[in-house]
Amino acid sequence: MDGRRRMGDGRSEMADRRELKRGLSGVALALALSAMLTACARKPDAPPVRPIVTTEFDGDAALKYAAAQVAFGPRVPGSGAHRKAGDWIVAQMKARGATVVEQTWMHTAQSARKLPLRNILARFNPQARNRVLYLTHWDTRPTADMEPDPADQLLPIDGANDGASGVGLFVALADALQKKPSAFGVDLLFVDGEDYGEFGPPLVDVLLGSTYFASHLPESGYKPVFGILFDMIGDADLRIPQEINSVQMAPDVVQRVWSKAEEMGRGSVFVTRAEQQITDDHIPLLSVGLKVIDVIDLDYGPGNSYHHSRQDTMDKISAASLKIVGDVALALLR
Ligand SMILES: [Zn+2]
């Protein structure tokens, strides 16, 4: 017998409809039960069911660009390596067709030291009204204060992940944008002085570039459709839970990013769970009404032992991780 309904078999059409409905709800119930069982059976970070979707983003190139940053030496504000690395970012962005706007200013640190700081804004399709803002910090922390040995705590860090990974990601994104422009205007913002001082509270000499940008927006009424801060996204052991300030203040952007990642089969990396509340460069921008979230993996090495330590070196980050984040970042611009 096939599933088609035959009329005139002695039962009313209404009865048939009821039966159909009961049949459907039985199916729905079975589906719901099986979904529940699947959910229970799957570990929270189990591999995603969806197939992996990739883009033309080049993770190997991103890793090379990160290495180029690290090769300058620690990019501590005021140092020669810092100046050279900044010049390099400007040259890379101009070579890829961006309109580059630099913001330079002098910051007096709590130590009374004068820091020459520099934000670099690389604008693709600068005339477009619908814009997306991506930002990352390009400076590195002057001291490895999480080192166990006090002598090492005074030394600077390579910042392969904490600094260079975001820069590498952005240069590779610029490669892709040059080849195939986004439907959006895209602003890649490299902020300075994120990691110079203490996160406290109170904050002292940190988030300097994002704070400066928040009060010196590129034009009046600047309001990107959405914004994403990328920080420490190169960890070879990558896992990016949602960040609590972002979820509270720009839930639609969090939804946009994590659902795109899920759609691309990256649900095991972009974990749909808010786990940590992080003070980062998105905060000054959120506070002036820009919808910017933080995409960050703040669990770097065993017990986060590579963070702000001499262990933050190139061998701890990977092209594969940069590719995952780059694919999602690029897909969001299409
Ligand atoms: Zn840091």
For domain 59-331, which architecture applies? 3-Layer(aba) Sandwich (3.40)
Helix intervals (H) in the chain: 13-41, 59-71, 80-95, 165-179, 208-215, 244-249, 251-263, 282-286, 319-331
Classify residue 45 as left (phi > 0), alpha (psi -120 to 50) or beta: alpha
209 CA to centre of ligand 1 in angstroms:
14
139 CA to centre of ligand 1 in angstroms:
9
Give CA–CA dist 105/119, Å, rounded. 9
Give CA–CA dist 180/331, Å, rounded. 12
157 CA to centre of ligand 1 in angstroms:
10
Question: What confidence tens digit (pLDDT) does each residue in 213-259 have?
Answer: 999 999 999 999 999 999 999 999 999 999 999 999 999 999 999 99
283 CA to centre of ligand 1 in angstroms:
15
Tell me the pLDDT band of 47, cut-offs 50, 70 and 90: low
DSSP string, 264-282: TT-TTTEEEEEEE----TH
36 CA to centre of ligand 1 in angstroms:
40
271 CA to centre of ligand 1 in angstroms:
22
Closest by alpha carbon to 62, among 319, 242, 287?
A: 319
186 CA to centre of ligand 1 in angstroms:
25
pLDDT at 281 over 90: yes
Average pLDDT, the chain: 89
Q: Do residues 236 and 313 lie in contact, with contact meaning Cβ atoms separated by under 8 Å?
A: no
Which residues have C-beta within 8 Å of that of residue 168, sequence separation ≥ 6?
62, 63, 64, 65, 66, 67, 68, 69, 234, 322
Give CA–CA dist 60/149, Å, rounded. 34
Q: Tell me how far CA of residue 53 lies from CA of 116, 137, 157, 263, in angstroms.
A: 42, 28, 35, 8
1 CA to centre of ligand 1 in angstroms:
68
126 CA to centre of ligand 1 in angstroms:
30
Q: Considering the entire predicted model, what is its pTM?
A: 0.86
Closest by alpha carbon to 67, among 48, 46, 51, 88?
A: 88
**Which single residue is written with the structure tokens 């611009």?**
333
Question: What confidence tens digit (pLDDT) does each residue in 97-155 have?
Answer: 999 999 999 999 999 999 999 999 999 999 999 999 999 999 999 999 999 999 999 99
Domain boundaries, the chain: 10-41, 59-331
